[in-house]
A and B are shown apart, each in its own frame.
Chain A
Amino acid sequence: MNIPMAVECKAINKRHSHFQLQDVDLSIEQGTVMGLVGPNGAGKSTILRIIMGLQKPDSGSLKVLGHSMPDDQIAAKRRIGFVAEDMRLYESETIGFHMDFIKSIFDTWDQDYAATLLRRFDLIKDQKIKGLSHGQRVKATLMLALARRPQLLVFDEPTTGLDPAVRKEVLDEMMNSLQDETRSILFSSHNTLDIEQISDYITFIYDGRIIESKDKESFLDSWRRLRLVNIDNKPLPDLPNIKQIQQSGRLCAVTVNDYDDSTADQFTKAGLTVENIEHLTLEEIFICNVQYAKELKNSRINS
């Protein structure tokens, strides 16, 4: 069966003066949540802005909800709700003004749902934007994006700077919006907890390249930390999937990607004792991935 795609990026390249997106391939099935995770400056926002048609890629092809971007961006953006951390509303105007404005543009605007969201988010329609806190502004922007009932929600760092309570409210509402099974979410964050909590798929990006893109279970399951005892100080097997080695006397912690049962055997065969095999949290994977990618980049520069 052909699964309808919300986003299909193929070999996207984009060069800025100090940064370059390189051969980005990214596919998001309809009805799923894709979390884009990476450190600051990795290229998350650039990818999202290219997907929104706000930046033109130098090469590659992009389809969003079946529409070619950026050429067919008007039709695509009628079905997309976009919320970015640096997005601001008009300070001198009220939330109600913005609701009327969005309502006048989108035939799909759901007034009842907007009213429900206002109540849920403790927002007052007549309140001016300049009087809102950062959390309230994010919630107002989210409400404006959700109440137009988009098929694809694109969020660029939506939870940055929010306190835990507001963050939960925002994430909960993002999840609620997925009750319509054809709706998809693509969101970027360096908050791994958010990504882990709501994503079906995780894409890790570093220095303009996609390092890994998998479903969450496979992603989390493919990483392990092996606690080893190395009494005779034997050399570790030269496995390509070793991402990090931490040595402390006879004890050694090895973090590996693409883990399977044979991985532990390789260490045993090399004369090491495998004491424990641990799963990693997404945060640990994130840190490990960044450090490994950094080392790889530095060694490439040095050579």
Chain B
Amino acid sequence: MTHSIIPQLVKKDFLIWRKMIAVFCLMSLLAIAGLSLVYGHIPHFVFMNVGFTILIIPVAACGVALLIQTNVFEKEKSTQVFIMSLPITVREFTLAKLLVNLPIFGALWVGTAGVAFYFTFGLGLLPIGAVPFITMIFVGIFAGYSCILCVSLISQSLGKTIFAIMFFEAATSASLWIIAYLDPIRNYIYGPSIVWNSTALTIVGFQVLIIVSVIAATILIQNKKRDFI
């Protein structure tokens, strides 16, 4: 009788927001279709920059919309009182929210990264040496999203979440620009082979560490909360 209700909570959020998620998936598919149609009709450099923006918008929008709806509005609209009256603790509430948001954003992120890699390298827009840097861009985006997700879960405040979106978006862009100008990265971006040197591995490792540590910290902080309503 003490089985966890996390699966039911995850299913509930997925069912409530399935239409919104479907709209963003459709937007992603339209972006891919649109890019496929214009490929070859516009310069490669423009295609790559515009294409990346068009691909990433639905993913980012879906991630942000979902975390605001499931985490922030749960509290603001007082549905959290209803949920917390069920047999769960704050820890399970937090795990359920992570298990709704991370897989949905993750699935869109993996799909978009796959398409971006195909366009970039499959169609020869960039030499294969750019693989580590493009990987850093995508892992960096996931790290930034994880930070925003955790702020939204801990604070459950719209203002703080919007601030986190601005801050981590700017921080991700700035860090990627800095990475792009580091000699051990820059020297191999236009190279003919993939070079995973110690700098590239350290950067990706650090990005992964950010993702893991913010999620672990969120569970820990939530677990220590004395009052949850």
Contacts and interface: CB of A to CB of B under 8 A. Distances in A.
| Residue of B5, B15, B87, B226 most packed against chain A (CB within 10 A) | B87
Contacts of B84: 52, 54
A75 B87 contact: yes
A55 B227 contact: yes
Contacts of A70: 89
A52 B81 CA distance: 10
**Interface residue range, chain B:** 20 to 34
B81 A88 contact: yes
Contacts of B2: 74-75
A104 interface: yes
Contact of B1 (A56, A78, A84, A104): A78
B79 A90 contact: yes
Nearest to B4: A74
A267 interface: no
B78 A73 contact: no
Contacts of B15: 97
B97 to A, nearest CB: 15
Contacts of B81: 54, 84, 86-88
A53 B87 CA distance: 10
B79 A88 contact: yes
B86 A77 contact: yes
B228 interface: yes
Contacts of A88: 77-79, 81-82
A93 B17 CA distance: 10
A105 B16 contact: no
Interface in B4-46: 5, 8, 11-12, 15-16
A141 interface: yes
B88 interface: yes
Given A88-B81, A105-B5, A74 B89 contact: yes
Contact of B87 (A78, A86, A141): A78
A82 B85 contact: yes
| Residue of B11, B15, B229 most packed against chain A (CB within 10 A) | B229
Given A78-B1, A101-B8, A105-B8, A89 B227 contact: no
Given A75-B2, A77-B87, A78-B87, A55 B229 contact: yes
A49 B8 contact: no
A86 B78 contact: yes
Given A55-B227, A55-B228, A107 B1 contact: yes
A2 interface: no
A81 B86 CA distance: 8
A70 B81 CA distance: 16
A179 interface: no
Given A75-B87, A84-B81, A105-B8, A54 B228 contact: yes
A91 interface: yes
| Residue of B11, B82, B87 most packed against chain A (CB within 10 A) | B82
A299 interface: no
B89 A73 contact: yes
Nearest to A78: B87
Contact of A75 (B1, B8, B78): B1
Contacts of B226: 55-56
A133 interface: no
Contacts of B11: 104
Nearest to B15: A97
Nearest to A80: B85
A110 B81 CA distance: 23
A93 B8 contact: no
A87 B88 CA distance: 16
Contacts of B86: 77, 102, 105
B79 A105 contact: no
A178 to B, nearest CB: 20
B30 to A, nearest CB: 24
A92 interface: yes
B21 to A, nearest CB: 14
A87 B1 CA distance: 26
Nearest to A71: B89
Given A87-B81, A91-B77, 13 more contacts: A54-B81, A54-B228, A55-B227, A73-B87, A73-B89, A86-B78, A86-B81, A87-B78, A87-B82, A88-B79, A102-B86, A105-B5, A105-B86
Interface of B: 1-2, 5, 8, 11-12, 15-16, 77-79, 81-82, 84-89, 92, 226-229
10 contacts: A54-B84, A55-B227, A74-B2, A77-B88, A84-B81, A89-B82, A90-B16, A91-B77, A104-B8, A145-B85
